[in-house]
Amino acid sequence: MADGEAGIDRVLTAPPPTFTEDEAASFARALFGVEGTAHEVASERDQAFRIEGDRPAILKISNAVEDPARLDMEALAAQRVVQLDPDLPVALPRQVPGTDAYRAPTHKDGATHWARMYDLLPGRSVTGSTLSDAAIRDWGTMAARVGRALRGFWHPSAGRVMLWDVQHALRLRPLLDSIRDPEARALVSAALDRFERTVTPVWPSLRAQVLHTDLCASNVLVDPAGKVTAIIDFGDASWSALVVDLAAVLETATDGRQRDSDEFFRACRIVVDGYEKVTPLEPMERRIIGELLAARMCAAIVVPSSRAGLYADPDSLMPFLRSQGVEVLRMFTELGWDEVTRRMGGREPGEGWSVSALAARRYHAVGPAMTPPTYREPLHLVRGDGVWLIDADGRRYLDAYNNVPVVGHEHPRVVEAIVRQARRLNTNMRYLHETALEVAERLSATTGGALDTVMFVNSGSEANDLAWRITRAVTGGSGGITTDFAYHGITEAINALTPEEWQGGSQPEHVRTWRPPDTLRGFDGSLDDLDRAIRELVEAGHPPAAAILDSVLTSDGIIDLDPALAAELVRRTHDAGALWIADEVQSGYGRTGAAMWGYQRLGIEPDIVTLGKPMGNGHPVAAIITRRELTERFSPTGEFFSTFGGNPVAMAAALAVLEVIDDERIVAHAGEVGEYLVGLMREVAAQTPIIGEVRTVGLAVGVEIVKPGTTEPDAAMTKEIVEGLRSRGVLIGTTGRHSNTLKIRPPLMFQREHADQLLECLTVVLAR
């Protein structure tokens, strides 16, 4: 019976055995057939002897109260680790000759002690600041490997309660009186209180398994370079939370660094890096590392003090560990626990900032040129989940605005694809990698084979920039044609094709615009307008190279182009010697609910298709799809290189998005929900004089707001509606030249119930 008071294992309170070195040498010979002299080495609760001889070994003689089943588990755990990770230098048990056992009985003073023989591995016990960064990082990696190797290991003795295992930290409380120094006692007491408040409640949710639990310098030896040469003792192995192993490593890695908190936490983070090379931590595990380390420090102070009665000189017991413990707890107390968590890397973004403080900080950090946050009271979002965005206070917002996460915010397939690939490899298109090729092939296939070549870049702007360069190179023209109030991107060349951004409306000399149909105001002269644009460009000495069109005309106010008109626009552009660029950054990936690409819904054949926004569901990735012949004429030497274009992580995201769109039948779904939403919207519009027109293309809906009974835009009212919806937990935007069109453009997995909720809120807001 190994359990003592309150279930705590008695091996820590029973005195260690007292065999002599001569006795040990004779056991080694008699029980294990190992010849050699014996030298006792330090051990906490057992006795251990180094047997110097032909085959150097360690003879361990257990405490009389030790449960033999535990010793079997110790042997099996060590063997399991080596079986699964043979390169780990684990000291293995030796069998008792002629048996299949790893232990043999010895007797003293009427008690039985189990003798075991372990391989003696080289190395020294080294701690703390003498270990290099590489050494502590590797130590962290080693701990993760040991944990990984033990993942599926089980033994009936794994539940033993060892005070060194931090899961039992609160059991140290009854022993606090044994600490003689009042400061140390107060520090331990406060750290245990903290543990109870923050660790105990989450403990049952942590990943758990059988672990070594004590991978500190007493059980891990290193060579002079700090490389681990021996993992020597599975005697504390228990079922515990996986992250517990990290605490033991941190105890060793930070020893000697505790008087310099910067250095202390730097070392901690490096150890965690090493650990996460093999086993990434879960957020909650990362958050409690400081408390776990503190709990180990508490044990380092309490356990020796409480055992002092067993020894002649209590202060000789682990004095260094005790003073390290006091210094660490003192430093943590001075810094405050939140700061400890932050420095351990355990604080998630979104914690600890007010919206106003963040807004001021943002203005200071990024200046006025970057787009200001939307809304009078900016949103501080910390999480996404499908159609929902969640702010720092936990409030959920229905996202009817963001078109990037087509398959929903934080779609698990996409997230995992990114994470998996990021862990494995991220390079560039100078090396062969299948994923980019698969994405390219799949994208070409979506065009029905009409466009057979894909080039990867990183943003919609870059895709358009590349497309524009190709059209210029191929046609020899220099003029560009775009719609009245289009947006196509931020590069200098594309900004010129972006009337929405023209300062003071000044139009670049080489660009002309055409006005899209405006049914509300009875304008249908788009074709004539295009002809005029072409003519003016030619006259200005800029024969057109390309016309570029966002197939749903988002910035122009979301307009449902008539296919016959679209076909004629393309024909006249081609007749003028220019190429047609379908900018699918907004309209692609199923937005129209009718086809993968907006141009397909219009039935036209573009020369170049440009992709962006939804392509990685939020991960930056973009591309063009075009004809091989155009790319050959653009870059005969094949020297178009974009550092990040086509990188394996971006491609993993892009591939996952394509898969999910297929698997979840996103395109058809967008069509159905779009129709449902617009039906509801038209009902509301019929009773709302300030709604001039509802326009829709799939799940892109534009609602034009006007002064009642007129066609006069009302931008102020539009803004009020957007703000009103925001305060009711629904996000939409505005668009159009006069900023008087509500822009509703949700993730494509938006459901009918979300449409209902949006309309309910809109009705309330409009009523005001």
| Between 178 and 458, CB nearer to ligand PMP | 458
Stretch that binds ligand PMP, among 188-196, 228-236, 487-495, 714-722 (CB under 6 A): 487-495
Rg value, the chain, Cα: 35
> 334 vs 261, 295, 325, CA distance in Å?
10, 17, 14
Please, are residues 544 and 477 in contact by the beta-carbon 8 Å criterion?
yes
Interaction of residue 465 with ligand PMP, rule CB under 6 A: no
Stretch that binds ligand PMP, among 159-167, 456-464, 536-544, 630-638 (CB under 6 A): 456-464
Stretch that binds ligand PMP, among 438-446, 482-490, 531-539, 730-738 (CB under 6 A): 482-490
| Between 106 and 610, CB nearer to ligand PMP | 610
Among 586, 626, 696, 741, binds ligand PMP (CB under 6 A): 586
**Residue 565 neighbours by CB under 8 Å, 6+ apart:** 517, 526, 527
Among 265, 487, 634, 750, binds ligand PMP (CB under 6 A): 487
Interaction of residue 745 with ligand PMP, rule CB under 6 A: no
Interaction of residue 405 with ligand PMP, rule CB under 6 A: no
| Between 245 and 550, CB nearer to ligand PMP | 550
DSSP H helical segments within 130-282, as ranges? 133-149, 182-198, 244-254, 261-278
Residues touching ligand PMP, count (CB under 6 A): 15
Give the residue from 428, 490, 436, 449 showing the smallest Cα distance to 626: 449
100-110: buried (b, 16+ CB within 10 Å) or exposed (e) per residue? eebbbebeeee
Provide, rounded to whole angstroms, the least separation between the CB of residue 464 and ligand PMP.
Answer: 6
Interaction of residue 82 with ligand PMP, rule CB under 6 A: no
Interaction of residue 735 with ligand PMP, rule CB under 6 A: no
Strands 104-108 and 111-119: antiparallel
| Between 144 and 552, CB nearer to ligand PMP | 552
User: Strand (E) positions, 109-232?
Assistant: 111-119, 208-211, 220-222, 228-231
Interaction of residue 490 with ligand PMP, rule CB under 6 A: yes
267-279: buried (b, 16+ CB within 10 Å) or exposed (e) per residue? bbebbbebbbebb
Give the residue from 18, 15, 14 showing the smallest Cα distance to 4: 14
| Between 291 and 583, CB nearer to ligand PMP | 583
Distance of alpha carbon 432 from its chain centroid, rounded? 26
Residue pointed to by tokens 């969640």: 390
Provide, rounded to whole angstroms, the least separation between the CB of residue 523 and ligand PMP.
Answer: 22
CA-to-CA distance for 687 and 487, rounded, in angstroms? 32
Question: Quick one: DSSP state of residue 506?
Answer: P
Provide, rounded to whole angstroms, the least separation between the CB of residue 403 and ligand PMP.
Answer: 8
Residues 545-584 that bind ligand PMP (CB under 6 A): 550, 554, 583
| Between 213 and 696, CB nearer to ligand PMP | 696
Provide, rounded to whole angstroms, the least separation between the CB of residue 712 and ligand PMP.
Answer: 27
145-183: buried (b, 16+ CB within 10 Å) or exposed (e) per residue? bbbbbbeebebebbebbbbbbbbbbbbbeebbebbeeee
Residues in the chain: 768
Stretch that binds ligand PMP, among 61-69, 87-95, 199-207, 457-465 (CB under 6 A): 457-465
Residues 637-666 that bind ligand PMP (CB under 6 A): none
Interaction of residue 140 with ligand PMP, rule CB under 6 A: no
Provide, rounded to whole angstroms, the least separation between the CB of residue 461 and ligand PMP.
Answer: 3
Residues 492-551 that bind ligand PMP (CB under 6 A): 550
Provide, rounded to whole angstroms, the least separation between the CB of residue 586 and ligand PMP.
Answer: 4
Among 106, 157, 461, 735, binds ligand PMP (CB under 6 A): 461
Please, are residues 674 and 696 in contact by the beta-carbon 8 Å criterion?
yes
Interaction of residue 488 with ligand PMP, rule CB under 6 A: yes
Please, are residues 510 and 479 in contact by the beta-carbon 8 Å criterion?
yes
Stretch that binds ligand PMP, among 1-9, 349-357, 483-491, 744-752 (CB under 6 A): 483-491
> 456 vs 471, 497, 611, 636, 731, CA distance in Å?
17, 21, 9, 17, 31
Among 25, 175, 272, 585, binds ligand PMP (CB under 6 A): 585
CA-to-CA distance for 397 and 387, rounded, in angstroms? 8
Provide, rounded to whole angstroms, the least separation between the CB of residue 482 and ligand PMP.
Answer: 10
Interaction of residue 615 with ligand PMP, rule CB under 6 A: no
Interaction of residue 480 with ligand PMP, rule CB under 6 A: no
| Between 463 and 690, CB nearer to ligand PMP | 463
Provide, rounded to whole angstroms, the least separation between the CB of residue 519 and ligand PMP.
Answer: 22
Half-sphere exposure at residue 279, Cβ-oriented, CA atoms within 13 angstroms: 23
| Between 11 and 621, CB nearer to ligand PMP | 621
Interaction of residue 484 with ligand PMP, rule CB under 6 A: no
Stretch that binds ligand PMP, among 310-318, 337-345, 455-463, 753-761 (CB under 6 A): 455-463
Stretch that binds ligand PMP, among 364-372, 418-426, 454-462, 694-702 (CB under 6 A): 454-462
Please, are residues 543 and 534 in contact by the beta-carbon 8 Å criterion?
no
CA-to-CA distance for 434 and 229, rounded, in angstroms? 39
Provide, rounded to whole angstroms, the least separation between the CB of residue 758 and ligand PMP.
Answer: 22
Residue 648 belongs to what H/E stretch? helix 648-663
| Between 392 and 558, CB nearer to ligand PMP | 558
Interaction of residue 43 with ligand PMP, rule CB under 6 A: no
CA-to-CA distance for 397 and 731, rounded, in angstroms? 7
Summarize as ranges the residues that interact with ligand PMP (CB under 6 A): 459-461, 464, 487-490, 550, 554, 583, 585-586, 612-613
